Amino acid sequence: MIEMAAPANRAGRPPRIFAALLLLVGLVFAGGGIQLALLGGSPYYAIAGAALVISAILLWAGRRIGAWLFLIVLLGTWGWAIWEVGLDGWQLMPRVLFLTVLGVWLLVPRTRRGLA
């Protein structure tokens, strides 16, 4: 009788693709945010970028707290955007859409499965 190997269990893997994308986004936010702050603009992007980088590192390691940190950044982004432009959808969209889509991706069970 020939025994077949069981398929690899991918359920326990940290969301590394998500974390890598989040790291890239965080670095772009932080770099651009520092430049913006030095020009007298809002420090929001520098702060959010740093938090996204930390979140990405935690998610890469499979730590659930990285998802919670991302949620804090996402909620902060929404709060900051509404404070800045009000409820005008066309002005809100460029400020919140991309991070919101990433947040929905993080909600997908397959993405969250590898978090301890």
pLDDT digits (tens, 9 = 90+) for 53-101: 999 999 999 999 999 999 999 999 999 999 999 999 999 999 999 999 9
- In this prediction the pTM is 0.83
- 58 within 8 A of 65, measured Cβ to Cβ: yes
Reported confidence tier of residue 6, pLDDT bands at 50, 70, 90:
very low
Placement of tokens 């800045």 in the chain: 84
Token pair in block for residue 82 = 């509404």
3-class DSSP state of 44: helix
